[in-house]
């Protein structure tokens, strides 16, 4: 695929939080990463407002295992509390992604040079990313490196089809949709032989508004062209 990259992301723990578990202070991870979590990882490798990164597929390489921990979250009102967080343990994913230019940002047209963006993205991936990599939450440190999406054997290679239920797909931001609204997308993923093929954000039929929001303005005064 044009402007594509394939990478391996792995770590000791991951927490792709099911939002239904946040209400009581107890956090439980989804079984697999969400589209938005993987997009955040890809954007930590390389991102500029000129482009939108799309996640095409993820391959679950290791068995899905959970581990619960007693955590003392910050109590901003004072005092102490204890919560149980349930993490994924010893994770590894192969990810296929690509970028397209953000047509909702004509102010960034001066920076649309796909050849240079793609080369910088691949160099950033080879260096382990431009920013720290997190597997869902700050305390779950991750690591990235280039790979071939199909290399190695997934633990779920022999599983023809595994429905994963109702999940968050991702977040719609104003600069990616052209609408002055923050929205959340939902979908019903199915893992086939260890691979989850993601639908594009605009194909998600379950979209719920969160709040009104306007896009941040970028131009040559606060962004350097890729040639610079």
Model pLDDT, residue 55 = 98
Task: Choose the weakest-confidence range: 18-32, 101-115, 162-176, 214-228.
Answer: 214-228
Torsion sign over Cα 130, 135, 139, 141: negative
Q: Is the pLDDT of residue 69 over 80?
A: yes
Model pLDDT, residue 76 = 75
Please, what is the angle between helix 114-126 and helix 35-45, to 10°? Answer: 90
Cα-based distances in Å from 40 to 5, 86, 138, 153:
14, 21, 12, 25
4-166: CATH class: alpha beta
Q: Is the pLDDT of residue 12 over 80?
A: yes
Q: Is the pLDDT of residue 156 over 70?
A: yes
- In 3D, which of 35, 37, 36, 46 has the Cα closest to residue 3? 46
Q: Is the pLDDT of residue 192 over 70?
A: yes
Encode pLDDT of 15-56 as tens digits.
999 988 877 678 999 999 999 999 999 999 999 999 999 999
In angstroms, the first-to-last Cα distance of the chain is 27
How many other CB atoms are there within 10 angstroms of residue 82's CB atom? 9
- Structure tokens of 56? 């095409």
171 within 8 A of 182, measured Cβ to Cβ:
yes
Model pLDDT, residue 191 = 98
Model pLDDT, residue 72 = 81
117: helix, strand or coil:
helix
Q: What share of the chain is helix, strand, coil (3-state, %, to 5)?
A: 20, 40, 45
101: helix, strand or coil:
strand
Q: Is the pLDDT of residue 67 over 80?
A: yes
Q: Is the pLDDT of residue 120 over 80?
A: yes
- Structure tokens of 70? 């007693």
Model pLDDT, residue 26 = 84
106: helix, strand or coil:
helix
Model pLDDT, residue 228 = 62
Higher pLDDT, 145 or 228: 145
Band (226; pLDDT cuts 50, 70, 90): low
How many other CB atoms are there within 10 angstroms of residue 26's CB atom? 13
What is the model's pTM? 0.91
57: helix, strand or coil:
strand
Q: How many helices (H) and strands (E) does the chain have?
A: 3, 13
115: helix, strand or coil:
helix
Mean pLDDT of the chain: 92
Contacts of 168 (CB under 8 A, 6+ apart): 19, 34, 36, 184, 185, 186
Model pLDDT, residue 225 = 66
């Amino acid at each position: 695929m044009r402007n594509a990259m394939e990478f391996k992301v792995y770590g000791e723990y991951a927490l792709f939080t099911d939002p239904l578990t946040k209400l009581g202070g107890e956090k439980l991870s989804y079984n697999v990463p969400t589209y938005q979590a993987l997009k955040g990882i890809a954007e930590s490798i390389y991102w500029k407002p000129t482009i939108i990164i799309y996640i095409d597929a993820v391959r679950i390489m290791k068995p899905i295992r959970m581990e619960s921990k007693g955590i003392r979250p910050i109590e901003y009102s004072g005092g102490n509390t204890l919560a149980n967080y349930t993490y994924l343990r010893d994770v590894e994913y192969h990810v296929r992604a690509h970028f397209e230019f953000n047509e909702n940002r004509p102010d960034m047209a001066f920076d649309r040079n796909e050849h240079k963006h793609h080369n910088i993205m691949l160099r950033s991936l080879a260096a382990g990313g431009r920013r720290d990599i997190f597997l869902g939450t700050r305390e779950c440190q991750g690591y990235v490196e280039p790979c071939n999406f199909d290399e190695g054997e997934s633990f779920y290679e022999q599983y023809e089809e595994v429905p994963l239920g109702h999940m968050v797909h991702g977040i719609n931001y104003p600069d990616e949709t052209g609408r002055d609204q923050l929205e959340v997308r939902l979908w019903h993923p199915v893992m086939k032989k260890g691979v989850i093929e993601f639908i594009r954000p605009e194909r998600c039929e379950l979209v719920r508004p969160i709040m009104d929001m306007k896009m941040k303005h970028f131009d040559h005064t606060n962004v350097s062209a890729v040639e610079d």
